[in-house]
Amino acid sequence: GKHRIVIPCLGRFKEEYEKVSKLYMNNRIRTTRYTLLNFLPRNLFEQFHRVANLYFLFLVVLNWVPLVEAFQKEITMLPLIGVLTIIAVKDGLEDYSRYKMDKQINNLVTKVYSR
């Protein structure tokens, strides 16, 4: 039938554990959405899925057309940049707190039942 091999990560089995453990996925918990490399593009992608942000972007783009220009171009961009910045900071702080919680959970000492 089916069986599994459990190799302890301690003492004389350490070399064998390191060879075998490269073949399998680890069991670490990861609930974060972002990494340092993908934070900005992924966060902007998620934010522009909101209709309000698309509306403000449309106003900014429309204001760059000389015939339709109602305000100064920079003034039209301020609300959009402000909202995007505030939401990005909030998302970054939430993701960092998830990272700290994941790290805490992944470093917990566990008990293994053995007959």
Q: What is the pLDDT of residues 35-61, one digit of tens each?
A: 999 999 999 999 999 998 999 899 888
pTM as predicted? 0.70
Residue of 84 and 106 predicted with greater confidence: 84
Backbone torsion region of residue 85, taken as left when φ is above 0, otherwise alpha when ψ lies between -120 and 50, otherwise beta: alpha
Kindly state the percentage of the chain with pLDDT values over 70: 89
List pLDDT tens digits, range 71-92: 777 888 888 999 999 999 999 9
Q: How confident is the model at residue 8 (pLDDT cuts 50, 70, 90)?
A: low
Task: Report the distance separating Cα 14 and Cα 101, nearest Å.
Answer: 28
Task: Report the distance separating Cα 14 and Cα 21, nearest Å.
Answer: 10
User: How confident is the prediction for the chain on average, in pLDDT?
Assistant: 84
